[in-house]
Structure 1
Amino acid sequence: MAKYSQVLKIVFWFWFLFIGSEIKVFAQNYNSQKRATVYATHFPESKAKINKFIRQHSIRIQKKEEMAERISAEFVMPENNLAALDSLIPSLGWVVENALTSQDFQQHIRQIKINLQDEAEEQNRLQEQLRQAALEAAQKQQLQSRLENSLHNRKRLQQELRNYEDYDSLVFVAINIYDEITYPTGNRKIAFVNMPGIEYSLLFPENPKTGTSNDLYQGYLIKYLFTRGKSYLDLGVYKAVDNNRADSTLINELFLINFGQDFYPRHFGRGKRKYLNLYTCYQIGGFIINRNNDKHNTFNPNLNIGLGVEIFKSKHILIDNKVSYFLPLNELNRNLRSLSYNASLNFVF
């Protein structure tokens, strides 16, 4: 059994190395090779686009694999379709690789033609010698063997020349499109973005207390989204509505900074729709309080947990809103913990 297993391993590795080398040689025969890797936010749409392009522009498909979260294709197309492919790739999603490698085979083709001419002259010379009457058997056998070798070399060179002519003005394309990760954990590469924005918030304390908290705060924040995941930073200020300045110890302002992440449920589309994407979220950070008497300004940690719905999402704009629970992690917990509503607008910068 062990011997049989060892034989299987040898056969497998031979097959793997042979197939891999064949594909590599296949690609290297072309004047140009295009390789692209894309992480698609809207994977089904991107998959449909690349399949349509392959149907319209490829002349031969070397390999194609379609899975739930990935499509991989290797195909050959005319070189004059490169501009159309370069226009398509950025529309598929976040491009992490888009490389074109070109080779000039003209010098090699010229050398093949020179070698063909040399072989033709060699054959004529050998055939002329074989027609001579005064030849010993050993000499004739030697000349015949050299002629056969020359004929073999000439056929090989002719086939090589035909191969290069077949590949002339063609491009070998290898493209991989992945369903881009829509939450910031996991083993896939995260897509970083630059999406600043503004956020408006209302904070409703559960147990407002005279001398500590107001009934309502409204906030103005900068929300900087830096992954499509989504991960973001919130920085801004909450101000008490109808501030009672006679209450000298009342907290009239909260200066806040938070780090947050949103998570899309797998069974609700994972954030792929343009409208009404459901998500859960958390924020962790801290805030500095300011009182009417300008005393006791301290930094306080906080944690928020919430539920949100993206109203509209495209590659360039995100309109979002959520409800969360604002939870101070110190002695202010009882009188400042609050229900909050946030609405935000982010855009690609």
Structure 2
Amino acid sequence: MKRSLVILIHLLFVASLQAQPMMSQRLDASIIVMDLKAAQVKLNSLIETHQALILNSSTSGAYSNARQLTLLLSTNQAGFDAFRKELPALGTVRRFDLNTRDNQKEKESIEMELGFYKSQREVYTTEMTKLDPSARNKNYETMWEKARELDQRIFELEKRLLNRKQETSAWEVSLSIEEEHGEPLESADWDFVNMPGLETMVIAVENPKKGVSDAVYAGGGLRYMFTRGKSYLNLQVLKAMNTSSGDSTTARDMFVYGWGSDFYARYFGRGQNQFFNLYSGFVIGGTFMTSETINRHVMHVNPHIGIEIFKNQYMVLDTRVGYFLPLTEKQNQDFRGLTHNLSFNFVF
């Protein structure tokens, strides 16, 4: 009776192991933080709370000067779910990939493949027995080489199958935490895109001079954005709004061209929000100013601050306010002033 009870308990234990879901999950995450030391304190608290095991750990230098921390953690399912929920709170998520593997299905797939190769090996063995190996038969040598290849493949599959049979479930977290460097260019995303678009522009001249400059120039043109960072080329045609038709000396038309680059704010989403991303930047280029009697060209710079009203992977709608600064003394006095732009770009 006692022996039967032991056998029954053993069978129930084996059955419970077979009934367990043989699932493996791995989270690959990359997070940008403002302070690596503070983030590491929070991360250590998470590791201790959920009793995660550190399989691998490395930093980019000495702890006091570390700029990047890389960890590989092993935990249980509850801890894995907690890391998925709490890690995004450390900073700005750059990558957050979840991979799930069904070990049971993979084991069954290996067993099916192994059975096929074993049946092929039996066919070669049967055929080789019909040939005389001492007769230096070319067919025998070819079949012998094929049989050796099958043996090697069978060995590799049996080794993989043994590893899968020893696995039940596993949960791993591969984490990279990088400290924000702070240099403006490093905050930009330099992935190239093809996004043409339209742009309006208004210049409110600060000190218009009679016979030289108008109080307001307005118009529009094209803006071609070629990186998501974002960098772009623009070309606008502006008209004087208040100049009379009989005025032959005041600049009536302005042809403005330039190259611009914008940088997202570190503390307001780094450009990853769908609505209201704050940014600052500049445009540097040239301006052709024409009237009935004068045709001149000046270089200019236009620093600005703006907001992306709406953005997704297909389009960007943004507005910005800046200050138009011609780089020659005379035109700087007569044409400098506030600018306003409204732009719309789309993937082409």
TM range (shorter): 0.5 to 0.7
Alpha-carbon distance between aligned partners in 1 of 2:209 and 2:294, rounded to the nearest angstrom: 17
Alpha-carbon distance between aligned partners in 1 of 2:198 and 2:157, rounded to the nearest angstrom: 68
- Tell me how far 1:177 sits from its aligned partner: 11
Given the superposition, is the C-alpha separation of residues 191 and 115 from structure 1 closer, same or farther in structure 2, using an over 3 Å criterion?
A: same
Contact 1:72 1:177 in 2 (8 A): no
- Tell me how far 1:188 sits from its aligned partner: 8.3
SS in 1 for 2:252: strand
Alpha-carbon distance between aligned partners in 2 of 1:306 and 1:188, rounded to the nearest angstrom: 16
Alpha-carbon distance between aligned partners in 2 of 1:267 and 1:76, rounded to the nearest angstrom: 33
Alpha-carbon distance between aligned partners in 1 of 2:314 and 2:282, rounded to the nearest angstrom: 24
- Tell me how far 1:298 sits from its aligned partner: 2.3
Partner of 2:24 in structure 1? 61
Partner of 1:135 in structure 2? none
Alignment partner of 1:264 is 2:246: no
SS in 1 for 2:229: coil
Partner of 1:336 in structure 2? 335
How many residue pairs match? The answer is: 222
Which deviations, in whole Å up to 9, do the C-alpha atoms of 1:146-194 show, x marking residues without a partner? xxxxxxx9x958835957999xxxxxxxx99999xxx982298721112
- After the TM superposition, which of the residue ranges 308-317 and 60-69 deviates more from structure 2? 60-69
- Tell me how far 1:207 sits from its aligned partner: 0.6
Alpha-carbon distance between aligned partners in 1 of 2:222 and 2:123, rounded to the nearest angstrom: 75
Alpha-carbon distance between aligned partners in 1 of 2:96 and 2:236, rounded to the nearest angstrom: 44
Given the superposition, is the C-alpha separation of residues 310 and 71 from structure 1 closer, same or farther in structure 2, using an over 3 Å criterion?
A: closer
- Tell me how far 1:67 sits from its aligned partner: 3.2
- Tell me how far 1:106 sits from its aligned partner: 9.6
Partner of 2:293 in structure 1? 295
Partner of 2:315 in structure 1? 317
- Tell me how far 1:68 sits from its aligned partner: 1.2
SS in 2 for 1:232: strand
Partner of 1:96 in structure 2? none
Given the superposition, is the C-alpha separation of residues 66 and 161 from structure 1 closer, same or farther in structure 2, using an over 3 Å criterion?
A: closer
- Tell me how far 1:317 sits from its aligned partner: 2.1
Alpha-carbon distance between aligned partners in 1 of 2:305 and 2:201, rounded to the nearest angstrom: 14
Contact 2:299 2:326 in 1 (8 A): yes
Alpha-carbon distance between aligned partners in 2 of 1:306 and 1:336, rounded to the nearest angstrom: 17
Alpha-carbon distance between aligned partners in 2 of 1:189 and 1:209, rounded to the nearest angstrom: 42
Alpha-carbon distance between aligned partners in 2 of 1:158 and 1:263, rounded to the nearest angstrom: 52
Which deviations, in whole Å up to 9, do the C-alpha atoms of 1:275-329 show, x marking residues without a partner? 11111110000011111xx333122100001111111112222211111000000
- Tell me how far 1:61 sits from its aligned partner: 3.4
SS in 2 for 1:332: helix
Partner of 1:130 in structure 2? none
Alignment partner of 1:244 is 2:207: no
Given the superposition, is the C-alpha separation of residues 324 and 187 from structure 1 closer, same or farther in structure 2, using an over 3 Å criterion?
A: closer
Given the superposition, is the C-alpha separation of residues 65 and 335 from structure 1 closer, same or farther in structure 2, using an over 3 Å criterion?
A: same
The alignment's TM-score, normalised by the length of structure 2, stands at: 0.54
**Correspondence list, 1:145-184, <5 A:** 159=158, 162=161
- After the TM superposition, which of the residue ranges 185-194 and 107-116 deviates more from structure 2? 107-116
Contact 1:321 1:342 in 2 (8 A): yes
SS in 2 for 1:310: strand
- In structure 1, list runs of 5 or more residues that go unmatched: 1-57, 79-104, 121-152, 167-174
Alpha-carbon distance between aligned partners in 2 of 1:178 and 1:252, rounded to the nearest angstrom: 55
Alpha-carbon distance between aligned partners in 2 of 1:164 and 1:197, rounded to the nearest angstrom: 56
**Correspondence list, 1:1-349, <5 A:** 60-61=23-24, 63-69=26-32, 70-71=94-95, 75=99, 77=101, 110-115=116-121, 159=158, 162=161, 185-186=185-186, 190-291=190-291, 294-330=292-328, 331-349=330-348
The alignment's TM-score, normalised by the length of structure 1, stands at: 0.54
Given the superposition, is the C-alpha separation of residues 190 and 178 from structure 1 closer, same or farther in structure 2, using an over 3 Å criterion?
A: farther
Given the superposition, is the C-alpha separation of residues 338 and 244 from structure 1 closer, same or farther in structure 2, using an over 3 Å criterion?
A: same
- Tell me how far 1:343 sits from its aligned partner: 1.1
SS in 2 for 1:334: helix
* Corresponding letter in the other structure for 1:253: D
- Tell me how far 1:73 sits from its aligned partner: 5.6
Which deviations, in whole Å up to 9, do the C-alpha atoms of 1:231-251 show, x marking residues without a partner? 111101110002223322100
SS in 2 for 1:298: strand
Contact 1:200 1:344 in 2 (8 A): yes
